[in-house]
């Protein structure tokens, strides 16, 4: 069974750093792109970027490039989303999702990680 399991909720202060994770299982982790999707409170879905764990090829949404870093450790089948300096506007639910073979759709999703940034 394909599963993506994300790390738990985080509460941080502005200016702090953060790295959240997404562990894949039940499939060949290095053979599928993994992406991160942001959902701000009460808002819609937004692709942030995507990584191919097999060779770490990474693409970012132009609007978010430079604000976050996406990485992966294929030895432990885990993808990461990282911030160097959080702001209040980073408060959101973050989902990881596998980009499947069928029309590059997001066929499996993690359960989400809620990040709250507040002073």
Partner 1 sequence: DIQMTQSPSSLSASVGDRVTITCRASQTINNYLNWYRQKPGKAPKLLIYAASSLQSGVPSRFSGSGSGTDFTLTISSLQPEDFATYYCQQSYSTPGTFGQGTKVDIK
**Contact positions vs partner 1 (CB under 8 A):** 35, 37, 44-50, 59-63, 95, 97, 99-100, 102-107, 109-112
- Specify whether the CB–CB gap between 52 and 71 falls below 8 A: no
Nearer to partner 1, 86 or 96 (CB): 96
Tell the smallest beta-carbon distance from residue 78 to partner 1 (Å): 18
DSSP 8-state secondary structure symbol assigned to residue 8: P
Pairing of strands 57-60, 69-73: unpaired
Tell the smallest beta-carbon distance from residue 113 to partner 1 (Å): 11
Tell the smallest beta-carbon distance from residue 57 to partner 1 (Å): 11
Tell the smallest beta-carbon distance from residue 42 to partner 1 (Å): 11
Q: Which of 16, 44, 53, 26 is nearest to 110 (CA)?
A: 26
The rounded radius of gyration (Å) of the Cα atoms in the chain is 14
Nearer to partner 1, 37 or 86 (CB): 37
Nearer to partner 1, 17 or 45 (CB): 45
* Whole-angstrom distance, CA of residue 8 vs CA of residue 4: 13
Nearer to partner 1, 46 or 73 (CB): 46
- Specify whether the CB–CB gap between 4 and 96 falls below 8 A: yes
């Amino acid at each position: 069974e394909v599963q993506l399991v994300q790390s738990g909720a985080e509460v941080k202060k502005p200016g702090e750093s953060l790295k959240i994770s997404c562990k894949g299982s039940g499939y060949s982790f290095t053979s599928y792109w993994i992406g991160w999707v942001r959902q701000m409170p009460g808002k819609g879905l937004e692709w942030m970027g995507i990584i191919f764990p097999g060779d770490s090829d990474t693409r970012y949404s132009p609007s978010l490039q430079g604000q976050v870093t996406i990485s992966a450790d294929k030895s432990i089948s885990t993808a990461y989303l990282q911030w160097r300096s959080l702001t209040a506007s980073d408060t959101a639910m973050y989902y990881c999702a596998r980009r499947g073979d069928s029309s590059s759709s997001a066929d499996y999703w993690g359960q989400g990680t809620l990040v709250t940034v507040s002073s």
